[in-house]
Amino acid sequence: MTSQERSPAGNGRLRDLSEAEFTACYGSDRFTMSVLANKMRFIVEHMCGNLLNSAFSQILRDWYDFAATISGPPGADYPMAAVSNSLAVFFGTMADGLRNAVEEFGPGTLKPGDVLICNDPYRTGTHVNDVLLTRPVFHDGEILAFVSLRAHQLDMGGPVPAGFSATKRNVYETGLVISPQLLYEADRPVRSTFNLILDNARYGSLLLPDLRTIYQNLKLGERLLTETVGRYGSGALLSAIRYSCDVSADSMTAAITALPDGTYLGETLIDADGVDASREYTVRVTIRKAGPNIEVDLSGSSPQARTSINASVLDTKTAVGIGLKYLLDPDSPFTSGTYRSIDIVLPPGTIASATPPDGAVFLYWEGANPVLAALLKALAEAVGVNALGGDFGSTTIHSGNGVFSDGTPWVTAAQCGGEHGPWSATRHGDADSYSVNYQGNNLDPATEALESDAPVVLLRKEYVIDSSGAGYNRGGAAVLKDSLWLTDAEHWSSPLQTKRPSGFGVYGGDDGKLGAVWLFEASGAASDDGSELLPVDDAVYARSTPVAGMLNPETKARDPERGQYFYFASRPIWRTAPGAIFRYITAGGGGWGDPFQREPERVRRDVRDGYISIAVAEHDYGVVINGDPENDPEGLQVDWPQTETRRAQCAQGFME
């Protein structure tokens, strides 16, 4: 790729083009191109907002597990010009997934009113539940653009209801695979395709209205785009698609150029797969940067896992793009142009590039998130104060299912485990403690909605004291969640980052604490009805069944230094009687900067608010606090003389 192909400004910046040069390049002025670029972003947001408000299944209406894009025509190589402000992990996969699906089906075969679908992870990324649906937008008999929605379907068959499991061993267990085919032809439903899905998937009463709703929102996107063409012309829209991608490419290239040249290394580990605890998996990143170009090489990563924790090539591409956006270019839009100066080296058959049939892909983010984490580690020193540490790592998804007393089946999908947790602090401030992982951007399902859909009571959802990575800016706190199950149930639990801290600190910050998962079997006691909450002190774990974590084998409490690793798939399926309680504690987020530089007043407020204890304030921050945080939190005081003495001792290396 030549410099001229990189940017219409040659070796300069797009912003440096004169008005005449800009008009010569795009056939229109800057204002019109900006209006059209923003109109495309408005369209995808409108599509998503409409779907969110009208979806039926909880994974769409409560989780926001979908995304929309607008891409250009085949002749321009399908440039993705606009993405919705929703599930980020879909962004990179949708651009290439659309190209792969349309090219295989045949772009010349598509007609007005068609909707093409595909869900194969190796063709379009992510997993089979994430169905990619695309609608061509025609003008004067030619494809002008595509509007696309990737939306998670509640179930796509296979042995696990809703699909969430780290123990499936091949593509035949992951669920129904749909090659590129029409769901609607000339705006008429293709009965054979609907039958294929509904004959193989559970919860058809939710899938059918969801698919119809998605179809209507694709029509909405087409109508809004067609109206735009009617006002500005097809040539202006095509130029705006190119302009949108050029803006992203120009911004990312400038950010890469500013990074010091060099070779950078980063590595993360995954605890185990779903076969046994004997094998860890390494994601190893070598980054080579020279001038305006950057190469991300993952060829040192472990071979693909034996169960469905792998990522596909497209999932890894997305993780690389999102990671570099976070570190280098967070302000420009994410488009196909984001990757123009990025090369990715990725041999087939690794945990970050699994191949079928045995390289099963379902919990793809568990393979892709470590790619992003390894990239953040690799570039932490190079970006200096802009370094970003680790979040809570594994999404630790919990999926439960059973039947109500009347025989109606129920399922929970990523609602009762460790799906939400903390981020790392940055130079801008303390971290958020309750979000999805770095590649997410979902909603938190409402407790009331969860409890109305399934026989479960969410007893606790709170932060864990002394779990944050210490730093000048503090990492996010771990999240504790207790769920009480009121009927017989089956459960799949997938915590894949409990051996070592995933919330690594940066720029002198400390790591967050490890998480863990326990099951408290029903005992027949009155407290099994939820009238008495489980205590949060370590003594309670002696009567638990460990699910995952570094735990003391006798007390079963967390013991990161001397504990034994309890393996999450020691029971592939956890079957429980009424009254069982699962407890999830996520990992803590990493800190940023030297904790002994944190202002003592900020440390006092952390003690007051329950983020850290008085003991940790002194040990990790060198701040001595007097008072009773439980009974008189507003009466806490900093002991300034003792704090000065303590910090002076620490500075001289006398810290205990």
Report the candidate in 113, 103, 74 with the shortest Cα–Cα distance to residue 215: 113
- Cβ neighbours for 245, distance < 8 A, ≥ 6 positions apart: 79, 80, 81, 335, 336, 337, 340
Q: Where are the alpha helices (DSSP H) in 329-476?
A: 364-383, 447-453
pLDDT value of residue 527? 61
- Phi (first) and psi of residue 638, to 5 degrees: -80, 130
Residue whose entry in the numeric block shows the structure tokens 């996969």 = 93
Q: How many residues does the chain have?
A: 656
Question: What is the pTM for the complete model shown?
Answer: 0.95
Distance of CA 134 to the CA centre of its chain: 22
Q: What one-letter code names the amino acid at 74?
A: P
Given its phi and psi angles, is residue 489 left (phi above 0), alpha (psi -120 to 50 degrees) or beta?
beta
Helices vs. strands in the chain: H and E counts, helices first: 16, 23
Distance of CA 350 to the CA centre of its chain: 20
Contact 465, 480 (CB under 8 A): no
Q: 245-277 burial by CB neighbour count: b if 16+ within 10 A, else e?
A: bbbbbbbbbbbbbebeeeebebbbbbbbbbeee
64 vs 45: CA distance, rounded Å: 12
386 vs 382: CA distance, rounded Å: 9
Distance of CA 112 to the CA centre of its chain: 34
10 Å CB burial of residue 613 (0-12, 13-18, 19+) is: middle
Q: 350 pairs with which residues across the strands?
A: 303
649 vs 651: CA distance, rounded Å: 5
Would you list the DSSP string of 469-502? PPSSBPPPPPEEEEEEE-S-EEEEEE----SS-S
pLDDT value of residue 523? 76
- Cβ neighbours for 47, distance < 8 A, ≥ 6 positions apart: 68, 84, 147, 149, 217, 218, 220, 221
The CB-side HSE value for 586 (13 A sphere, CA atoms) comes to 38
Strands 130-139 and 142-152: antiparallel
pLDDT value of residue 524? 59
- Cβ neighbours for 39, distance < 8 A, ≥ 6 positions apart: 228, 240
Contact 207, 198 (CB under 8 A): yes
Q: 124-143 burial by CB neighbour count: b if 16+ within 10 A, else e?
A: bbbbbbbbbbbbbbbbeeeb
Q: What one-letter code names the amino acid at 48?
A: C
Strands 262-270 and 281-290: antiparallel
- Token pair of 18, please? 């004169």
638 vs 239: CA distance, rounded Å: 61
Contact 391, 422 (CB under 8 A): yes
268 vs 283: CA distance, rounded Å: 5
pLDDT value of residue 525? 56
Contact 473, 429 (CB under 8 A): yes
64 vs 187: CA distance, rounded Å: 26
Q: What one-letter code names the amino acid at 418?
A: G
Report the candidate in 104, 128, 122 with the shortest Cα–Cα distance to residue 176: 128
pLDDT value of residue 16? 92
Q: 189 pairs with which residues across the strands?
A: 184
Report the candidate in 394, 482, 499, 398 with the shortest Cα–Cα distance to residue 436: 394
398 vs 515: CA distance, rounded Å: 15
Per DSSP, the three-state class of 107 is helix
Per DSSP, the three-state class of 589 is coil
Distances (CA, A) of 6 to 14, 63, 330, 338: 10, 37, 20, 11
Reduced to 3 DSSP states, what percent helix, strand and coil does the chain have, rounded to the nearest 5? 35, 20, 45
Contact 356, 471 (CB under 8 A): no
Instruction: Give me the average pLDDT of each 10-residue run along the chain (656 residues).
Output: 50 88 95 97 97 95 95 98 93 94 98 98 98 98 98 96 96 97 98 98 96 98 98 97 98 97 98 96 98 97 98 98 97 96 98 98 97 98 97 96 94 94 98 95 91 96 98 98 97 96 97 98 69 90 97 96 95 96 98 98 98 98 97 97 93 61
10 Å CB burial of residue 458 (0-12, 13-18, 19+) is: middle
Distance of CA 530 to the CA centre of its chain: 32
Residue whose entry in the numeric block shows the structure tokens 């990737």 = 150
Residue 30 DSSP code: H
Would you list the DSSP string of 618-629? HHHH---EES-T
Contact 323, 294 (CB under 8 A): no
